[in-house]
Amino acid sequence: MSAISVAESHRLEEKFPEVFKTSFLKRHGLLVGIAATLLYLVFCWFFFNVGPALQNGKWDRASIYIQDWYSWRAQPRLRFGEDGTVNPQWSSRGQYPEGAAIDWLVPRADGGMSVHFGPDRLEVTTAQVDVYLNGQVWPVTITDGAALAPDNAPDAIVQDRTKVLVDFGFEGQAEIRDNQVAVQRRFLGWANFLYDPRSPLWGHDLFSTIGLIFSGEQVVAGKSNAQLVLDEWLGNRAWQHGDILTKLLQTLVMAFVGTLLATLFAFPLAFFAARTITPNRAPNWLMKRFFDFIRSVDMLVWALFFTRGFGPGPIPGIAAIFFTDTGALGKVYAEALENVDDKQREGMKSVGASSASVNRYGVVPQVLPVFVSQSLYFWESNTRSATVIGAVGAGGIGLKLLEAMGTNSDWDKVAYMVLLILVVVFVFDNISTAIRSRLIGPAGH
Amino acid sequence: MPMADISARHANLSPAGETLLRHYRGQVFNRRLYSTLIVLGVLATLGAAMAYANAANSGKFFERLPFMFDFIKNFVPRDPLEIFRAMFDLESPYFDGSAKYNYTANRIWLTDTFYIPYFLYQLMVTVNIAIVSTLIGGALGFCLCFFAATNLVGAGVVRWVARRIMEVLRAFPEIVIAGLLTAILSIGPIAAIAAVSLHTIGALGKLFFEVVENADMKPDEGLKSVGASWLERVRYAIVPQVMPNFVSYGLLRLEINVRASTIIGAVGGGGIGEVFRLSIGRDYAAQTYAIIILLLVTIIAIDQFSGWLRRRLVGDQSFNFAKASV
């Protein structure tokens, strides 16, 4: 900003003392506030033991978990047989059907195996494992009881007591022991997202699937290809699309039914709570305290309470949302009712209308758009919070998420569900915003 | 009393009046038809959704209703004072060596003679999680909101990016953040703080930028005319105007965050939520009621305090709880 002369600044200071000489709180209030906040945060740092917790965190695992969101690992164990052959062994979660030809895991003529990690590779035999790194060969010798890395090996090859760890970066890693090589090979993307290895359609991608639906022989006799594709996709054992979509629907149903039922109950009750509509203090007070009570009992309390009563599923979720939101909506509705324009009611009264008609034609048309828009806000909010309520026991996608996270190896499925939730929330937000702006104009409040 | 009676006869109307009346009746009829159809559609969807929910639940509603009443009937402490003993960690006369009546074991000793009751301590943890998350989320939302306001950055790339960041933060399921951090840091309040803070950035950021967009731009023009930079304009023209509303929305968010941190606590964030889940799961009636009462009192107290402060800050122009909860 441009500077002004000293004389000018003195003149201004004398002319407007109220601007330049304000109270201490006004002048330094912001600084004091910030300092107090920082002090409080420092207190919380120690109160919550943030330092030690961060230090003890398993940060090496964190990067693996994050990578699992967008990539997948194939984890065969290459067992050394008695007869000098190397045999791959897959866990039950293996991503390949039995006997499939895998382009990065190739058997050698002498019974060994070669494992390709992009430009690098492993040549595995029962006597020696050759590690090809950046075009150089590092032989790891297998003795009885230990695998031994060569001297002057690079940083990527580490001797860990009797085993040797080889790091290929993102492409994967290998753990060489005296009786097996545990390989981890990482690829971008989600494995078997369309069909699991046991499906007759395994190996098809999206385009070949579309081709299969519209032309091509029946893969399974007596069943149309479109039907087969749908069945196999929904029944995918690795990804459980059918189950996940059902659970997602349950969560949406929880939010929808809970909010709508709360609206239907809060609507008549709010008329008793509003002083202008029911000019009797006793029902006003009782109804308002009732709203405060059921609103303030935490949603968690309702959810766990009804889970005990009804067993896991959407019903406790609906009940939890219904109870808290009847209170919250009732309060908001009653406030809206107390702010209505009195002229329309007076007009109705002046022509001798009954009190029901006064409310129906003098009050409801004024408040209905506001009511609907408030309910839509709660619907949006509940669509998000129904996930969490589900996780504490009410079922739905929340519980599914919690199960997937609990195994610590299904982060790709977590990412898939998060993506589904994000899409659904965006769609519902837009629906709700569109309805709201039609009802009360684009200002939308 | 029928208001807009569209079937009544009106004898002495001019032909033009007749036409007008006919059109009016037609419009009223259409309006009623559409309203009825919409209401019927919503009710039909509600019915279908309820039937689906009932079918998907592990126990059917009417079959389980008697169990629900039984549960409520049997889930009572042995005498009402037990609730207060559980609340303040006093010794129970029913103590038989089992954990159910062992209220004194979890006392948090500050000195040799002074202790904090366990539930009060856990409640403190939860409330502090809410306050810290509101502070962190509010501060970051504050920084972000000016980049999402059309009157400050225009309708370009910056606004688009800022708004999308807020949307994703708002919609991202809190339990995933909490779960990921729990897997890395093990169970504790940091996961809950991170989850609630991230959500708060999105929620408050949205409310904040709407306030900024409604700000009076005359002070900004004044500063612009003397050559102030963008940062100076925001600091001296916008921030003083919007600060009371920001603080008010922050307080409203604090109310919501206390509830959110309780729930997040139950899925791995620690605090009173976790304790409550365990106690109701093990059928400890006295402890459960003690926690419910503590939670109720805390939430009502925070609501009242924040409501009082908000009225002082922005007057009776009250803020909408529904909107802030999104």
Do both B160 and B270 map to the same domain? yes
Chain B hits for A392, Cβ within 8 Å? 263, 266-267, 277
Each residue of A200-237: pLDDT tens digit? 888 888 888 888 888 877 787 777 888 888 888 898 88
Residue owning tokens 């959500």? B199
pLDDT for res B1: 43
Residues whose CB falls within 8 Å of the CB of residue B130, separated by 6 or more in sequence, listed in order: B196, B254, B257, B258, B260, B261
Q: Which residues of B touch A49 (CB under 8 A)?
A: 188
Average pLDDT score over residue span A239-266: 94
Q: What is the DSSP letter of A169?
A: G
pLDDT of the residue at A195: 87
Q: A339 is written with which tokens?
A: 């702010």
B215 and B272 part of one domain = yes
- A148's enclosing H/E stretch is strand A146-148
> Average pLDDT, stretch A131-139?
87
Note whether B128 and B61 are same-domain residues. Answer: no
| Percent above pLDDT 90 for chain B | 53
Structure-block tokens of residue B109: 């000793």
B44 with B122, same domain: the answer is no
Residues B249 and B170 both lie in one domain = yes
Q: Angle A397-406/A241-273 helices, nearest 10 degrees?
A: 130
Instruction: Test A48 with B189 for CB contact under 8 angstroms.
Output: yes
pLDDT tens-place string over residues A165-204? 988 888 888 899 888 889 888 888 888 888 888 888 888 8
Whether A282 shows a pLDDT value over 60: the answer reads yes
- To test the contact with chain B by mutation, choose from A49, A250, A253, A435 the residue with the greatest count of B C-beta atoms within 10 A, namely A253
List the one residue out of A16, B44, B278, B57 whose CA is nearest residue B65. Answer: B57
Lowest-confidence region among A72-86, B32-46, B252-266, B290-304: A72-86
Mean pLDDT over residues B194-215, rounded?
93
- What average pLDDT does this structure show over B279-290? 90
Measure the CA–CA gap between A72 and B93, rounded to whole angstroms. Answer: 58
Over residues A415-434, mean pLDDT: 93
For the cut 80, the answer to whether the pLDDT of residue B217 exceeds it is yes
Grouping H, G, I as helix, E, B as strand and the rest as coil, residue A127 is coil
Structural domain contains residue B190: yes
Q: Which of B46, B74, B102 is the last residue of a domain?
A: B74
What is the average pLDDT value for chain A, to the nearest integer? Answer: 87
B51 and B124 in a single domain? The answer is: no
Say if the Cβ atoms of A256 and B49 lie within 8 Å.
yes
The CA distance from A166 to A140, in Å, is: 10
Give the residue-averaged pLDDT of A249-271.
94
Residue B4: domain span: 1-74
* Residue B90 belongs to some domain of the structure: no
Q: What is the C-alpha separation between B171 and B199, in angstroms, rounded?
A: 8
pLDDT recorded at residue A41:
93
Residue B194 CA, distance from chain mean position: 17
* Band (B221; pLDDT cuts 50, 70, 90): very high
Which residues in A lie closer than 8 A to residue B172 (C-beta atoms)? 418, 422
Say what the pLDDT of residue B317 is.
Answer: 63
- Of chain B, the end-to-end C-alpha distance in Å amounts to 40
Tens-digit pLDDT profile for residues A348-393? 999 999 988 999 889 998 899 889 999 999 999 999 889 988 888 7
B276 touches chain A (CB under 8 A): yes
At B9, is the pLDDT very low, low, confident or very high (cuts 50, 70, 90)?
low
The residues pairing with A175 across neighbouring beta strands, listed in sequence order, are A165, A182
CB contact under 8 A, A310 and B61: yes
Angle (nearest 5°) at CA A414 between A234 and A64: 130
The answer to whether A377 contacts B263, with C-beta atoms less than 8 Å apart, is no
Q: Is residue B87 in some structural domain?
A: no
> What pLDDT was estimated at residue A445?
45
Contact at CB, A313 and B179, closer than 8 angstroms: no
B22, B57, B74 — which closes off a domain? B74
Q: What is the average per-residue pLDDT within A111-116?
A: 87
Instruction: List the Cα angle A324/A398/A241 in 5-degree steps.
Output: 140
pLDDT at A258 over 80: yes
Residues above pLDDT 70, as percent of chain A: 99
B243 and B309 both lie in a single domain = yes
Residue pair A249/A314 in contact by the 8 Å Cβ criterion: no
Residues B136 and B43 in one domain: no
- How much is the pTM? 0.87
| pLDDT confidence tier of residue B2, bands split at 50, 70 and 90 | very low
The whole-number pLDDT of residue B7 equals: 53
Same domain for B121 and B68:
no
| Same-domain status, B230 and B130 | yes
Q: Does B227 touch chain A (CB under 8 A)?
A: yes
Q: Is residue B287 a part of any domain in this protein?
A: yes
pLDDT score at B11: 66
If you measure CA to CA, which chain A residue comes closest to B203? A381
Contact A207, A153 (CB under 8 A): no
pLDDT at A99: 75
Looking at chain A, which residue has its C-alpha nearest residue B46?
A: A257
Share of chain B above pLDDT 70, in %: 95
Q: Does B172 contact chain A (CB < 8 Å)?
A: yes
Q: Which residue, A162, A114, A119, is CA-closest to A141?
A: A162
How many domains would you assign to chain B?
Answer: 2
Pairing of strands A128-133, A120-124: antiparallel
Comparing C-alpha atoms, which of A87, A61, A117, A93 is closest to residue A191? A93
Q: Which amino acid is at A198?
A: R
C-beta neighbour count of A96 within 10 angstroms: 18
In a domain, B128, yes or no: yes
Q: What pLDDT, in 10s, does the model give residues A89-99?
A: 888 777 888 77
Is A314–B266 a contact, with Cβ atoms under 8 angstroms apart?
no
**Would residue B141 count as lying in a domain?**
yes
CATH number at residue B309: 1.10.3720.10
Angle at which helix B189-213 crosses helix B157-171, to 10 degrees, equals 140
B232 contacts in A (CB within 8 Å)? 1
pLDDT value of position A12? 85
The minimal CB distance from A392 to the residues B260, B267, B321 is found for B267
Task: Compute the radius of gyration of chain B from its Cα atoms.
Answer: 28
Structural contact between residues B140 and A385, judged by C-beta atoms closer than 8 angstroms: no
B180 reaches A (C-beta below 8 A): yes
Is there a single domain that holds both residue B278 and residue B181? Answer: yes
Binary contact (B52, A299; C-beta < 8 A): no
**Closest residue in A to B136 (Cα–Cα):** A41
Residues of A in contact with B184 (CB under 8 A): 57-59, 61-62, 65
In a domain? residue B198:
yes
A290 and B250 Cβ atoms separated by less than 8 Å:
no
Helices of type H across A297-353:
299-310, 314-338, 342-350
Q: How many C-beta atoms surround the C-beta of residue B24 within 10 A?
A: 12
CB B144 within 8 A of CB B153: no
Q: What is the pLDDT of residue B318?
A: 61
Residue in chain A lying closest to B71 (CA): A309
CA separation for the pair A390, A400 (Å, rounded): 9
B30 shares contact with chain A (CB less than 8 Å): no
CA distance A72 to A186: 6
Pick from B152, B154, B134: nearest CA to B255: B134
pLDDT of residue B10: 61
Q: What is the mean pLDDT of residues B51-64?
A: 87
The pLDDT score that the predictor gives to residue B225 is 94
Q: Give the residue on B whose Cα is nearest the Cα of A354.
A: B1
Q: Residues 45..104 of B with a Cβ closer than 8 Å to A: which?
A: 45-46, 49-50, 52-54, 56-59, 61, 64, 67-68, 71-72
Residues of A in contact with B125 (CB under 8 A): 48
Is B31 in the same domain as B154? Answer: no
pLDDT at A444 over 50: no
* pLDDT of B4 higher than 60: no
Within-domain flag for B93: no
Residues of A in contact with B1 (CB under 8 A): 353-354, 357
CB contact under 8 A, B49 and A335: no
Q: For residues A116-133, give the mean pLDDT.
A: 87
Per-residue burial over A11-26, b = 16 or more CB atoms within 10 Å of its CB, e = otherwise: eeeeeeeeeeeeeeee
Q: CB distance from B300 to chain A under 8 Å?
A: yes
Q: Please give, rounded to a whole number of angstroms, the shortest distance from the CA of A174 to a CA of chain B.
A: 23
**pLDDT value, residue B97:** 79
Domain boundary among B18, B51, B74: B74
**Gap from B324 CA to chain A (nearest CA, Å):** 9
